[in-house]
Amino acid sequence: MNKTAVITGATSGFGLAAAHRFADAGWNLVLTGRREERLADIAAELTPKTAVMTLSLDVCDTAAVQQAFAKLDTPFDSIDLLINNAGLALGTEPAQHSELSDWHRMIDTNIKGLTTVTHALLPKLIARGKGSSIINIGSIAANWPYPGGNVYCGTKAFVEQFSLALRCDLGGTGVRVSCLAPGLSESEFTLVRTGGDQQAYDNLYKGAAAIQPDDIADTLLWIAQLPAHLNINTLEIMPVSQSWSPFSINRDA
């Protein structure tokens, strides 16, 4: 029997690439995102390869998430893998110049949305037991702060620590938990973050040989298909072009 994966945020970037990769590998898919038209197009493209169900929902809408996952039909009611990928950054300004509404939306999406989906699907994953997995998409921003990262960095630090703590609680159930933490990756993420600034997008990625969504999709499939006795705890992945700088020193402060 084919395995089933739930991928949140499957309308673009990592989630979309993962949908294609997992479909090619024969997984049934439950794909979510807010953009219904994109979901319909993706389902139409993938359905010849595998069974696909789409759920148009906002992960910040707790009732919608709970209702959607409470009534999954066969074969989608048996969940082997949850990829908690839906997320976003908003703004690149220092904290003192940031919008509070942006901070709250990042917290609502990256923390509250991710935990709502996890809570809704935990019973199904535990029912599948050995070999099932949760893969949470963190970020290098969890461990490597940078100017303008403020709340985004904080939300991804939550994702990493939540993933590790979840592993403790799920001991003995057979459910694996991983946090995959990418660095600079080329996707709509940067357009969302900058309010659609194509120039900022072009400047960031030009010559950077950034991670591509297909690279992350390959890594997700590798994690999900590891033998059932192995658990990747956290995995940071950067493009070779990205590395660290010295600490800054504000001498006049």
185 binds ligand NDP (CB under 6 A): yes
Q: Is residue 106 near ligand 8X3 by the rule CB under 6 A? A: no
User: What strands lie across the sheet with 52-56, from one edge to the other?
Assistant: 52-56, 28-33, 4-7, 81-84, 133-137, 176-182, 234-237
Q: Does 35 participate in binding ligand NDP (rule CB under 6 A)?
A: yes
Q: How many residues bind ligand 8X3 (CB under 6 A)?
A: 5
Contact assessment for residue 115 and residue 162, using Cβ atoms and an 8 Å cutoff: yes
Contact call for residue 141 and ligand 8X3 (CB under 6 A): yes
How far apart, in Å, are the Cα atoms of 187 and each of 17, 18, 28, 91, 223?
A: 11, 13, 24, 16, 21
193 and 109 Cβ atoms separated by less than 8 Å: no
Q: 179 pairs with which residues across the strands?
A: 136, 234
What residues pair up with 135 in beta bridges, in sequence order?
A: 83, 178
Closer of 88 and 200 to ligand NDP (Cβ): 88
Task: Give the CB-side neighbour count of residue 99, counting CA atoms within 13 A.
Answer: 11
Region from 59-67, 133-141, 165-173, 228-236 binding ligand 8X3, contact rule CB under 6 A: 133-141
Binding mask 170-209 for ligand 8X3 (x = CB under 6 A): -------------xx-------------------------
Task: List residues near ligand 8X3 by CB under 6 A.
Answer: 139-141, 183-184
Task: List residues near ligand NDP by CB under 6 A.
Answer: 8-15, 33-35, 58-60, 85-88, 109, 113, 137, 139, 182, 184-185, 187-189, 192
